[in-house]
Structure 1
Amino acid sequence: MEESINDIIRKIRTDLRRYMNGIAAAGMRDKGVHYRMNFGVEILRLKRIAAKYTPNKDLAQRLWNEDVRELKILATMLYPPHEFSTDTAELWVREIPYQEIREQWCMNLLQKLDTAGVLVERWISDADESVRATGYWLYARLCLAASPLSENIPGGALLEASCGDLENESIVLRQAALNVLRFYGRVSGDRAAEVMHKIGSFQHSLRPAGREIFDALRFEFEG
């Protein structure tokens, strides 16, 4: 007899309690990461738990809806990519609570979508900073995976958006934007020169962070 979604979720919760790491969970809370429940289970262990179950759209959505760190991460592992619609992506992107979830979502699910490039292009121009950060991280994941989709994203839009966020107050957004420039510039010498030209004014920025960004990218492309 096929297990119900409720049965599977009960088994997952049992596993999470078995592998709970209170010290890791407490460390996350100390850094401002607050869920209704956080078991502190490591990612490798979550991958092993996910491997026990057949990916299922309804199961993944149920897991995502819970304010539980591990269930949200498992949702990104158990949602069948071919069933993950653009509409659902647009809903989830505005529900990301923390950077870890953003990274796991981009790696486990979003980079596998045929529409990933379209989502990057759409999200990097969004007014919501969290959405832009997700667009940047997804672009980085496509580059890491050597996906041809990364080449179809207009370079002008990438540079305009990411350079505009390099001095944002959000460290998450700044780092995500910097990653975009690194990956974009690594493709060729021409692209590297394009990046350095775009951020040329940072060399004499009155803000130390601006000069550090310039030096970091110059070292990246000249090394």
Structure 2
Amino acid sequence: MTQEEIQNKLKDIKKSFRLVMDGVTAQSMRDKGLDYHINWGAAVPRLKAMAKEIDKDYGLSVALWKENIRECKILATLVMPVDMMESDMVDLWMEQTDSVEIAEMASLNLYQYLPFAAEKAYQWIASDKELYQLCGFHVLSRLFMNGQQPNERGINEFLDQWQVAVCGSSVMVRKAAVAALLRFAGLGLVYERMASTVSRRTGFDII
């Protein structure tokens, strides 16, 4: 699409949010601290249905992400073609992510499918930023669930950062880390034994 076509499509999408708005949900999000500039409270399944109708589109995804609107951000993660999402743009989007919901949506809808997903995830779990850690553990959890086995360096990095995460102050990062360890253990008996050892070492005997 041309830039003019992208802008026209963007306007149509933003208008359509009025048809799927949910004021009660939007207020509930605000009460929980999810403070977007604009939040129509649209349900994620509805947004996923909209994304299927739109189809994958790089230019539109970039335009959607620039909007400080919850629904636009989520749609951006759904319509971005995986093979066109470059490392530098992932870094930019991460810098611009300021809510747990968008961090989780980006991880599950887009980041986990990138060819360099594991590389980014290991960088993120070693970050001192909470949302980065959250994304990292979410992505690794999905990769492990899909049977992707880490190499020796990845194993050591994951287990080291896991111990830091579960002993840290962030409840949401701890939950994401625990979920990732369970997926790690599911890769096989050797992984299960490593997960059991590290969980007992930190006092979180979850395996």
TM-score normalised to structure 1 length: 0.85
Moved more, 48-57 or 22-31: 48-57
Do the aligned partners of 1:119 and 1:135 also contact (CA within 8 Å) in 2?
Answer: yes
- Of structures 1 and 2, the one with the larger relative CO (CA 8 A, separation 6+) is 2
Letter in 2 for 1:182: L
Is 1:151 aligned to residue 150 of structure 2? yes
- Determine helix, strand or coil for the equivalent of 1:64: helix
Aligned to 2:57: 56
Deviation of residue 21 (structure 1)?
Answer: 0.3
Deviation of residue 41 (structure 1)?
Answer: 0.4
Deviation of residue 132 (structure 1)?
Answer: 1.8
Deviation of residue 77 (structure 1)?
Answer: 0.7
Q: Distance in 2 between matches of 1:182 and 1:82?
A: 29
Q: Distance in 2 between matches of 1:202 and 1:139?
A: 20
Q: Distance in 2 between matches of 1:138 and 1:180?
A: 9
Is 1:23 aligned to residue 24 of structure 2? yes
| Residue correspondence of structure 1 range 67-216 to structure 2 within 5 A | 67-144=68-145, 146=146, 148=148, 150-152=149-151, 154-203=154-203, 213-214=204-205
Letter in 1 for 2:123: R
- Determine helix, strand or coil for the equivalent of 1:151: coil
- Extract unaligned runs of 5+ from structure 1: 204-212, 219-223
Deviation of residue 147 (structure 1)?
Answer: 5.0
- Which protein shows a greater Rg? 1
Q: Distance in 2 between matches of 1:72 and 1:27?
A: 19
Q: Distance in 1 between matches of 2:62 and 2:168?
A: 32
- Determine helix, strand or coil for the equivalent of 1:33: coil
Do the aligned partners of 1:79 and 1:109 also contact (CA within 8 Å) in 2?
Answer: yes
Q: CA RMSD in A?
A: 1.9
Letter in 2 for 1:151: P
Do the aligned partners of 2:144 and 2:180 also contact (CA within 8 Å) in 1?
Answer: no
Q: Identity, % of aligned pairs?
A: 27
Do the aligned partners of 1:184 and 1:192 also contact (CA within 8 Å) in 2?
Answer: yes
Do the aligned partners of 1:15 and 1:49 also contact (CA within 8 Å) in 2?
Answer: no
Q: Distance in 2 between matches of 1:119 and 1:147?
A: 18
- Determine helix, strand or coil for the equivalent of 2:95: coil
